Structure 1
Amino acid sequence: MWLSRYDPQGAIQTTGTDFILNLPHLLVLLFALQRFTLADWGLNLELDPTIALRHLPQPPETGNSTSNLPRGPTDRPLPSSESTNRSQRTLASGHQHGAFGDEKQGEGTSTNGKQENSSDKKMSSKTEAHMPWIQPMSASITVNEELSIRYNVPMLAPLDAPFCLHGRSTRSFEITDTSDANASDDSPKRYVAKLYWPYIRRFKEQELIQETRGVAYDLGNHLPRVIDSCDIDPTSTLCARKDLDLDQVPSSTRALRMIIFERLIPTTNLQGHMFLTALVECMRCHYVLWHNGIRHQDISLGNLMVRTIGDRYYGVLNDWDLSFWEGKGESEADLTATVPYVAIRLLYLWRVNPKADRKYYFELESFFWCIIWTFLAVKDRKLQPIPAMVDWLMGDIRRSADLRGSYFRHPEQFHAYEAWRSYEDMRFEISEWIRCRLNDLESKIDLDGDLELLRGFLEIVSQNVAGLEMPTSPAINGL
């Protein structure tokens, strides 16, 4: 028998034990596991007070009362329903400096930038059906002296949910600002929270976003606004490894972090020229930062957001937790991206060398795939891929490259949704332009400079869309 413990840092596995020949060791193990508290299993009751209801046995007839819940030998008494509903706590923070995730910035999309998975919805409904005694409640947390937030638990339908345990395990959700006297649970949400497990050794996303805002005077409206963030201690993945006296590399340690953002809306909420305008603004913002040593590295439709100020829309390049910041550490091989948007050539390079250099063109191609996904897979603000694209939704590097590569052979066989039919000429021409760049890379022919690549891309958009007023902000020298 082998025992494995999994967390966002990876797995801890024991050596094998023959419990037939060594029964006493099995009994000791069972006695030890029996005495684990919920905290020992890595669960945080203060972040989600319903954890106890979901993980401790409770007969259905006891209703929502927590007084009759069986407890483990070392479990402390559960909080009363009132204190559970309004559990208050100031989170330990390495930096409580006023400062992601996407939430309901659009149905089916997280503000964080990831498309909501239909399987998550199915899972949520099943969970609700199997736990009828768990009534929704709210949890409250004091982030700093000026900001206290409230959110609903259990989180059956987060705006953005993780696909696997290992890694950042990002979860995004709506929050209510309890310090706002006019805010209620039913009022529109001003903020969203992102809860995730970044590497401790990496720069904080909040710090990078603050740095990007100082690069150019006209970038502010095209970048997310961080309200604050905090690290939740002592739940880092290093704790269990220290207890087991494991010789771990400290740099691989992950910490649970919460970051509060201004609420944005997805670009998929926009139609026609407004969508293209927001997209181009994101491309210009990306170019300026790329040439100032800050690389986003995860361009995807879910990370292209929109801020509204009055009747004006601003494209916002969101979600910077996978970014490279020149002078703040080396590029890391295990920092991935959203595979259905990654440049095809880069996927092939990753199979040989996970640290393959990311050229500017690769990120430019990711913007191209954002256009393709919008025209062929977004209908009524929801991700509904046409039949020819259904198989593109995958994380397999080689298969994703092969399937999307086949698109260039016959792009006319992929039919856009009605709302985007008037942009077909642009799609065909820009697809041909990307195909030529792919052929050049395959033939090891040097591409044009970054500015010329961006200029060529934008000229195709401008020349094939009648009446589109191309954005000039953020400003780019020579463009």
Structure 2
Amino acid sequence: MVLLYTLQRFEIHDWGQNKDFLPIEVEGKLCHEFKIKDEKLGEVDLLLHTSHDERVMHYGLQGRATNVVPVTSEALMKKYGKFEDGMVAKIFWGEASRTSEPEILKKVEEIAKRHATVQDHVPELLWHHTFMNPTSAIREALDVPEPTTGSRVLYILVFRKLFPITQLHGKELFDVWRQCILCHLTLWKEGVHH
């Protein structure tokens, strides 16, 4: 009974739904709009096309629950121009205690300056944001021992959209696959174990 009493007091963000993602309908499809102040760009507007056929959704009680959806943004188009293939947003719950993916990508950028096997092989991070409402807040509110163990925070990363390697065939597929392995090997040797 106490558990039910506690759960009925959860707000939407306590269940893992971020209240900053506002549902809207665009051309008859459900999307989510998101606006946030950014130190460098001012207000960043994102329109997440969450009903798009090319979205990749993962849900579960454990793990990162990574979702990748097409995204449009006036602020990012103003900064980078329009990408022919568009942009995608990667939204996931990363472990708060681990090195963040934007930090890892920053290290990869530095490695790419020194190693040709990494140059032009890692997607450019256009923009990112970390939401400061960790899952440990629920545990802290419930007085769970060691509430920060395994705590997760919500990240959103925006990249230029790339096409899947599965669209390649024959020698071209083999060559690109070989380049992926060489890039991964170089990053591993340089300390990026991700």
Under TM normalisation by the shorter chain, which class is it? 0.7 to 0.9
Find the aligned partners of 1:210 and 1:238 in 2 and give their Cα distance: 27
Q: How far apart are 1:44 and its partner, in Å? A: 2.4
For the 8 Å contact 2:21–2:32, the answer to whether it is kept is: no
1:140 matches 2:37: no
2:181 matched to which residue of 1?
283
Report the TM-score, using the length of structure 2 for normalisation. 0.79
Query: Is the 2:68–2:88 contact (alpha carbons within 8 Å) kept by the matching residues of 1?
Result: yes
Aligned length: 184
Going by fraction, where is helix more abundant, 1 or 2?
Answer: 1
SS of the residue aligned with 2:70? strand
SS in 2 for 1:221: coil
> 1:43 matched to which residue of 2?
17
The amino acid that maps onto 1:174 is: P
CA deviations on 1:120-164 (whole Å, 9 max, x unpaired) are xxxxxxxxxxxxxx85345133463434322224x4756221152
In 2 relative to 1, CA 138–195 (structure 1 residues): closer, same or farther, beyond 3 Å? closer
Query: Matches of 2:55 and 2:192 in 1, distance apart?
Result: 27
* Separation of aligned partners in 1, 2:150 and 2:57: 23
In the other structure, the counterpart of 2:89 is: 193
Distance 1:212 1:206 in 2: 10
In structure 1, give the amino acid aligned to 2:100: K
CA RMSD of aligned residues (A): 3.0
Match of 2:57 in 1: 161
Could you list the runs of 5+ residues in structure 1 that have no partner in the other structure?
4-25, 50-83, 87-133, 296-322, 324-479
Q: Deviations for 1:253-284, whole angstroms, at most 9, x for unmatched residues? A: 11111111122111111111111110111111
Asked whether the 8 Å contact 1:174–1:189 carries over to 2, the reply is no
TM-score calculated relative to the size of structure 1: 0.35
State the 1:207 CA deviation: 1.3
SS at match of 2:190: coil
Report if the CA contact (8 A) 1:143-1:230 is conserved.
no
2:46 maps to which of 146, 149, 157: 149
1:78-107, Cα deviation, whole Å (9 max, x unpaired): xxxxxx569xxxxxxxxxxxxxxxxxxxxx
1:38 Cα offset (Å): 2.8
Tell me which residue corresponds to 1:326.
none
Q: 2-side partners of 1:192 and 1:284: how far apart?
A: 25
- Secondary structure of 2:12's counterpart equals coil
Counterpart in the other structure of 1:178? 74
Q: State the percentage of identical aligned residues.
A: 24
Which letter maps to 2:86? Answer: R
Give CA-to-partner distance per residue, 1:309-367, whole Å, 9 cap, x none.
Answer: xxxxxxxxxxxxxx1xxxxxxxxxxxxxxxxxxxxxxxxxxxxxxxxxxxxxxxxxxxx
Q: 1:40 to 1:252 in 2, by over 3 A?
A: closer
Give 3-state SS (helix, strand or coil) of 2:177's partner: helix
- Which structure: larger Rg? 1
Residues 59-98 of structure 1: matches in 2 within 5 Å?
none
Aligned counterpart for 2:123 among listed residues 214, 224, 233: 224
Alignment of structure 1 residues 72-471 onto 2, 5 Å: 136-142=30-36, 144=38, 145-146=40-41, 147-153=44-50, 155=51, 157=53, 159-179=55-75, 180=77, 188-215=84-111, 216-218=114-116, 219-234=118-133, 236-295=134-193, 323=194
Q: Which amino acid aligns with 2:18?
A: N
Q: Which structure has more RCO (C-alpha within 8 Å, separation ≥ 6)?
A: 2
- 2:94 match: secondary structure: coil
More strand by share: 2
Partner-residue secondary structure (3-state), 2:153: coil
Change beyond 3 A, Cα 1:143–1:260: farther
CA 1:46 to 1:199, structure 2 compared with 1: closer, same or farther past 3 Å?
Answer: same
User: By how many angstroms is 1:220 displaced?
Assistant: 2.0
How far does residue 41 in structure 1 lie from its aligned partner after superposition? 3.5
Q: State the AA in 1 paired with 2:135.
A: T
